[in-house]
């Protein structure tokens, strides 16, 4: 049985944060047909009045990130009158931080989206990562934060792009038996080099699907079980010989792999501080 839900998202900024929160929460439920009503840049009572009329016509859950106290009170009062739940999505986190830090949160609309140094660093990371995909630009690898190494179809590129969106300059390089990585890779000092691997069975399946999608012959050395096992063994030997951390991506999503890599970065940074 499918449940229909009207979901109203109100933000005084772009609404990106609110959309991500809603998406993560909805992923926990099955059989829900969500009709999203997206209301960004809500910064005046006049604007809010128009939105409230729409909410009354399509009652449902109201999620908001509004820092202006008058606008908030108006929204919450009208939702109570309509008998609708109105949830301030960031309040629990903001309140906890305020208590721990002994500070009052600064009520500035869209403060999290100010074009500060972190924003430009993320843009720079994305540009660097795109320019250093699949072994390109080896002369710049020393400028990277991360270098991902792995055989074909171990999610190097999508993981690199995800990490770039988190602000990490990421290069990636394929490990090929017939063409070993350049010596430059083994002399890197600044970036953390991480090896990505997977199970032979899973890799054969992914590669075979890839060939079929390209209308190519599904039976080649590229998907031969023994050949794939040799590739994985070759890559693992390189990782082990150089003392690089290894992540098995067999049962991990891109997000989970990236999270594990970020943990490795944080652990290395913590060791550096202790030294």
Q: What is the mean pLDDT of each run of 10 residues along the chain (275 residues)?
A: 88 83 88 89 88 93 90 94 92 82 66 58 89 95 97 93 92 93 95 96 86 76 88 96 96 91 90 73
Distance CA 151, CA 255 (A): 19
Confidence (pLDDT) at 269? 85
Q: Find tokens 């540009």 and name the residue.
A: 127
Please name the helix (run of DSSP H) or strand (run of DSSP E) that holds residue 87, with its range, or none: strand 86-88
Question: Could you tell me which of 192, 103, 92 has the C-alpha nearest to residue 141?
Answer: 192
CB 160 within 8 A of CB 170: yes
Distance CA 80, CA 62 (A): 11
Q: Is 86 helix (H, G, I), strand (E, B) or coil?
A: strand
Beta bridge partners of 9: 38, 63
246-248 β-sheet, strand order: 170-174, 146-150, 192-197, 246-248
- Confidence (pTM): 0.62
* Residues 6 or more apart whose Cβ sits within 8 Å of residue 34: 5, 7, 26
Query: Which own/partner contact pairs does 17-22 have at CB distance under 8 Å and 24+ positions apart?
Result: 17/65, 17/89, 17/90, 17/112, 18/63, 18/64, 18/65, 18/89, 21/63, 21/89, 22/63, 22/89
* Residues 6 or more apart whose Cβ sits within 8 Å of residue 70: 45
Confidence (pLDDT) at 114? 47
Confidence (pLDDT) at 228? 92
């Amino acid at each position: 049985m499918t449940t229909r839900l009207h979901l109203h998202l109100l933000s005084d900024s772009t609404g990106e944060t609110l959309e991500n929160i809603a998406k993560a929460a909805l992923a926990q439920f099955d059989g829900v047909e969500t009709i999203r009503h997206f209301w960004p840049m809500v910064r005046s009572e006049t604007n809010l009045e128009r939105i409230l009329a729409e909410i009354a016509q399509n009652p449902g859950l109201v999620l908001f990130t509004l820092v202006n106290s008058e606008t908030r009170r108006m929204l919450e009062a009208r939702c109570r009158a309509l008998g609708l739940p109105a949830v301030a999505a960031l309040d629990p986190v903001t309140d906890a931080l305020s208590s721990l830090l002994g500070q009052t949160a600064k009520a500035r609309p869209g403060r999290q989206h100010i074009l500060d140094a972190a924003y430009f660093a993320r843009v720079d990371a994305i540009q660097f990562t795109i320019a250093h995909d699949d072994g390109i630009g080896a002369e710049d690898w020393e400028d990277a934060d991360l270098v991902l190494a792995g055989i074909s179809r171990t999610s190097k590129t999508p993981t690199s792009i995800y990490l770039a969106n988190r602000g990490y300059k990421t290069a990636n390089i394929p490990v090929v038996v017939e063409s070993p990585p350049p010596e430059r890779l083994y002399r890197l000092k600044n970036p953390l080099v991480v090896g990505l691997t997977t199970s032979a069975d899973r890799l054969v399946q992914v590669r075979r699907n890839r060939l079929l999608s390209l209308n190519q012959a599904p039976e080649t050395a590229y998907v031969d079980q023994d050949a794939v096992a040799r590739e994985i063994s070759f890559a693992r030997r390189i990782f082990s010989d150089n003392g690089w951390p290894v992540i098995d991506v067999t049962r991990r999503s891109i997000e989970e792999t990236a999270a594990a890599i970020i943990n490795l970065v944080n652990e290395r940074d913590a060791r550096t501080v202790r030294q």
